[in-house]
Chains A and B, each alone.
Chain A
Amino acid sequence: MTGLVWLCKRETLRVSKLWTQTVLAPVVSSILFILVFGLSLGGRIKHVGNVDYDVFIVPGLITMGMVQAAYANNASSIFQARFDRYVNDVLSAPLRSWQMTLGYTIGGIFRAVCIGGSLLVLALLLVNVPVERPFALVAAVALGLVLFSALGVVVGIYAENWDHTTFIANIVILPLAFVGGVFYSVDVLSSPWQELSHVNPVFYLVNAVRFGFLGESDVSVWLSLGVTAALALPTYAWAQYLFTTGKRLKA
């Protein structure tokens, strides 16, 4: 287990060494969303259901900040390690493949938790967001972070250049987060947009996290957690498969 501990330390060290880029920047960006959308638009959109608009958007913004960071951290960390070939130091070490998968996944989770924790504290101060269902919140965050951290590992292993890693972040994850009900309840959408929202996996994650904070969401929390788990487990298994077989990592 010593090797796993050191790999986890290395992946978290990278986050802490570059904290202005890895933690501060996403926190500032999310807080700006809360200030600009919540406090300015909040004057026009008073409530969503029974919740103030500035409170309503906080769970989605925290989710968006965390999943983007979890993905980006691991995609860039492992791609850099492949690109510079210092990944060989890990691949040749007496580590089991599950330890490599877990070690590389931890970095994204750590970074996302730093961002999520910072945003939670700031959101409590700024808009006094409640935490109505803490267990559901922890489950939703855990599943979401496994999903996007593992996705980062997979993309980092398949990527052949930096554009590939940023493509997924900018063209897939960010748009899905924006149309996943971060800023609105899908109940206000007309057909077919409301139905289409239900095929967006980020929609379920945002709703599961929102349920954890506010105790209410657009869909059942069990469905949200189930969909997120159904995506997280195979994605993690995919990352594990790549480390077990050495595919894309070893010639």
Chain B
Amino acid sequence: MFREDPPALDLRGLTKRYDDGTLALEDFDLEIPAGAFFGLLGPNGAGKTTLISAVCNLVRVSGGEIRVFGEAHDTLEARSWIGLAEQDINLDRFLTVRETLLYHGGYFGMREPEERAEELIDVFGLRHKRDVRAPKLSGGQRRRLLLARALMHRPRLVILDEPTAGVDFELRQELWRYMRRLHAEGTTILLTTHYLEEAETLCEDIALIRDGHLIARDSAHGLREHFGVDRLTDVYVKAMAL
């Protein structure tokens, strides 16, 4: 079904060197098929967030090419296909829950975002906080709103940068359910996480990155076989020691 579509994400020779000289990504190639649930694993500073930021036009790339469903990532069309939930909570402090969704939808070209906003308010259990401004929400509510915002404009590619970092068990389970439902609806998901069991449970395909380079890529089962170990944790330890 998905093989006829161009890849959801196609990175060719992606390089990012920051102004201070740090080389975050070097000649990085990666292809994520449309409809995949893809995991990106790596230690802090491996280049995961830089990669995501490059795809979402939030950093200036030093070299290489990024295509989203066949379109250059900086075109308006490609931008409208991506939904991003960043690692840190970055909600507009002046907007209520409802306004956060409406304005995001508006920025992304939705002409009548009201119905979609109300739908997501219900899906993410934020009805009783609908008219509350973001700074007055609890941590879990903010995390849910961040995810709702990323989904507001019905993106084809959803990028989740450590969405379950620092959340309790119940909320993590809840977020997993949302992610699975999204994937079942055909949305491509790129997930970065530090939790190996999360990647193993959710992702069909996993890439391990370190120091801005791709170390390995396969399904969780394939990675275990390749590294000759029984657990993904051992794969991770071995891969990072290479």
Q: Mark A residues whose CB is within 8 Å of B.
A: 2-3, 5-7, 9-10, 13-14, 17-18, 80-81, 84-86, 88-96, 245-246, 250-251
Contact = CB atoms under 8 A, between A and B. Distances in A.
Given A2-B110, A3-B109, A84-B93, A89 B57 contact: no
Contacts of B84: 88, 92
B104 to A, nearest CB: 6
17 contacts: A3-B107, A6-B102, A6-B103, A14-B94, A86-B92, A88-B58, A89-B92, A90-B107, A91-B57, A91-B58, A93-B79, A93-B104, A95-B107, A250-B57, A250-B59, A251-B19, A251-B53
B106 A2 contact: yes
A89 B58 contact: no
B107 A246 contact: no
Given A10-B103, A95-B107, A251 B60 contact: yes
A80 B58 contact: no
Given A92-B56, A250-B58, A3 B94 contact: no
Interface of B: 18-19, 53, 56-60, 76-77, 79-80, 82, 84, 86, 88, 90-95, 99, 102-111, 149
B225 to A, nearest CB: 38
B19 A88 contact: no
A96 B80 CA distance: 12
A2 B60 contact: no
Nearest to A77: B94
B153 to A, nearest CB: 9
Contact of A85 (B77, B82, B88, B95): B88
A94 B109 contact: yes
A85 B93 CA distance: 11
Given A94-B77, A96-B76, A251 B82 contact: no
Contacts of B110: 2
Contacts of A86: 90-93
Contacts of A245: 60
Nearest first, the 10 A-B pairs at minimum CB distance are A6-B106, A93-B107, A94-B76, A85-B90, A94-B79, A94-B80, A86-B92, A92-B56, A2-B109, A251-B59
Contacts of A17: 94
A246 B60 contact: yes
A93 B155 CA distance: 11
B58 A5 contact: no
A92 B57 contact: yes
Contacts of B102: 6
Contacts of A246: 57, 60
A91 B111 CA distance: 19
B92 A93 contact: no
A14 B95 CA distance: 9
A85 B53 CA distance: 12
Contacts of B86: 85, 88
Contacts of B79: 92-94
Contact of A6 (B56, B80, B107): B107
Given A9-B106, A10-B92, A92-B57, 4 more contacts: A13-B99, A88-B84, A89-B107, A250-B60
Contact of B149 (A6, A10, A13, A89): A89
A5 B109 CA distance: 10
B19 A3 contact: no
Contacts of B109: 2-3, 94
A216 B90 CA distance: 51
A251 B77 contact: no
Nearest to B20: A251
Given A94-B77, A250-B58, A250-B60, A89 B111 contact: no
B115 to A, nearest CB: 16
B88 A7 contact: no
Nearest to A1: B109
Contacts of A2: 106, 109-111
B56, B59, B82, B103 interface centre (most CB from chain A within 10 Å) = B103
A17, A90, A93, A95 interface centre (most CB from chain B within 10 Å) = A93
A184 to B, nearest CB: 40
Contacts of A6: 102-103, 105-107
Contacts of B105: 6
A251 B18 contact: yes
B106 A89 contact: no
A86 B104 CA distance: 11
B20 to A, nearest CB: 10
A246 B59 CA distance: 8
B90 A89 contact: yes
